[in-house]
């Protein structure tokens, strides 16, 4: 249930309403913008009399929310959420570019790539330290050493680092060392993990599951938001369909749909979606056109010998060319890149 207050309602009226709602046993989520103030009631509101609330001073309207996700709902927060990481922003008019290798392989490799993508204009460095792989015999990442190498790359370039958290046992390690925690597609519905990252103050990139619906993605985000962490960024990375040519099918329609339903920023991962290096640039540009708040791109200086996902990684020089194209497109889309 949402209670929309009349503009310029006095604070004493607001406080009185808040006390009344708490007496009813409601959990309250408040949202305030330049021209609006909203009380979002979370939980079982079936016993709350909407007509009585409408009759109270300062109440403009009362709306029952039909969707199962509440805090993620745009009705709760009409303005776009902007996630701030240092001096970088994701959301609103800002288009974030997150770039780097699928996995950290060595000190020279990650620092070289970090310097290349930073020079080309990327705002964030991505790199896998703990790698979820379908085969137990595939490269699983450098683990703790990988995080240390990412930190060295951050020191060299100033780029905030993004890396994937797979297990609760490594949560404290990520809180201490990583700027943005990524929850991968395979863990989108690992609800215990979502609840724990929801208790942190770290920005979270939540990737859409392999076969997850948009509603399931928003409900997964709700687990994080419900614990108090409002710095959630959703990521469309392609879904599994009957098509075999590409690794996944990039659902670009999900971006405007999510933007309509939710206030959370949405980025696109064209590398994992297509699984083919030459698809990355056109899909990244398409993501900007449909309204995405950024892209996450895999860049490797030697894709042919990469230990992970070389076939979908672009070389630094191609990434630089792609950034030039995105900057030109950003002028048309009125985005800051």
Confidence of residue 228 (pLDDT cuts 50, 70, 90): very high
pLDDT at 133: 58
Which superfamily, per CATH, for 83-333?
Aldolase class I (3.20.20.70)
Rounded distance, CA 261 to CA 149, Å?
A: 39
Where b means 16+ CB within 10 Å and e means fewer, 256-290 reads eebbebbbbbbbbbbbbbbbebebbbebbbbbbeb
Do 226 and 42 touch, CB atoms closer than 8 A? Answer: yes
| Residue 137 scores a pLDDT above 70 | no
Pair of tokens at residue 197? 């990252």
53-63 average pLDDT score = 91
Protein fold of 2-63:
Alpha-Beta Plaits (3.30.70)
Taking only the tens place, the pLDDT of each residue in 165-192 is: 999 999 999 999 999 999 999 999 999 9
248-255 average pLDDT score = 98
Q: Note whether 2-63 and 83-333 share their fold.
A: no
Do 128 and 146 touch, CB atoms closer than 8 A? Answer: yes
Pair of tokens at residue 295? 């892209």
Strands 37-42 and 2-5: antiparallel
Taking only the tens place, the pLDDT of each residue in 82-117 is: 999 999 999 999 999 999 999 999 999 999 999 999
279-295 average pLDDT score = 98
pLDDT at 279: 98
User: ∠ CA 164-166-171 to the nearest 5 degrees?
Assistant: 85
* Domain extent listing, the chain: 2-63, 83-333
Cα Dmax for the chain: 68
Q: Which residues contact 271 (CB under 8 A, 6 or more apart)?
A: 102, 280, 296, 297, 298, 309, 312, 313, 314
240-253 average pLDDT score = 96
**Residue whose tokens read 């997964």:** 220
pLDDT at 131: 65
């Amino acid at each position: 249930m949402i209670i929309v207050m009349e503009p310029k309602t006095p604070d004493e009226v607001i406080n009185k309403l808040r006390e009344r709602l708490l007496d009813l046993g409601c959990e309250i989520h408040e949202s305030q913008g330049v021209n609006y103030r909203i009380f979002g009631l979370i939980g079982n509101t079936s016993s709350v009399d909407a007509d009585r609330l409408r009759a109270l001073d300062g109440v403009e309207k009362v709306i029952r929310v039909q969707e199962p996700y509440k805090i993620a709902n745009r009705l709760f927060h009409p303005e776009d959420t902007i996630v701030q990481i240092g001096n970088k922003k994701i959301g609103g008019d800002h288009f974030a570019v997150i770039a780097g290798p699928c996995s950290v392989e060595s000190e020279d490799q990650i620092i070289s790539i970090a310097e290349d993508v930073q020079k080309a204009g990327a705002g964030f460095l991505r790199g896998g330290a703990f790698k979820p792989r379908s085969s137990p015999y595939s490269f699983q990442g450098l683990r703790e050493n990988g995080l240390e190498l990412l930190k060295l790359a951050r020191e060299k370039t100033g780029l905030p680092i993004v890396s994937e958290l797979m297990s609760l046992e490594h949560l404290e390690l990520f809180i201490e060392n990583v700027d943005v925690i990524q929850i991968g597609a395979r863990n989108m519905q690992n609800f215990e993990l979502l609840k724990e990252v929801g208790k942190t103050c770290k920005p979270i990139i939540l990737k859409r599951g392999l076969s997850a619906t948009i509603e399931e993605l928003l409900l997964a985000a709700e687990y994080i938001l419900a614990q108090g962490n409002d710095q959630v960024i959703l990521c469309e990375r392609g879904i599994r369909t009957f098509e075999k040519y590409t690794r996944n099918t990039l659902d670009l329609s999900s971006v405007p749909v999510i933007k309509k339903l939710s206030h959370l920023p949405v980025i696109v991962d064209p590398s994992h979606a297509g699984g083919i290096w030459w698809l990355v640039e056109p899909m990244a540009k398409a993501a900007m056109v449909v309204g995405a708040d950024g892209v996450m791109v895999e860049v490797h200086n030697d894709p042919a010998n990469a230990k992970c996902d070389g076939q979908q990684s672009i070389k630094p020089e191609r990434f630089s060319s792609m950034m030039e194209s995105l900057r030109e497109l950003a002028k048309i889309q009125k985005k800051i890149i």
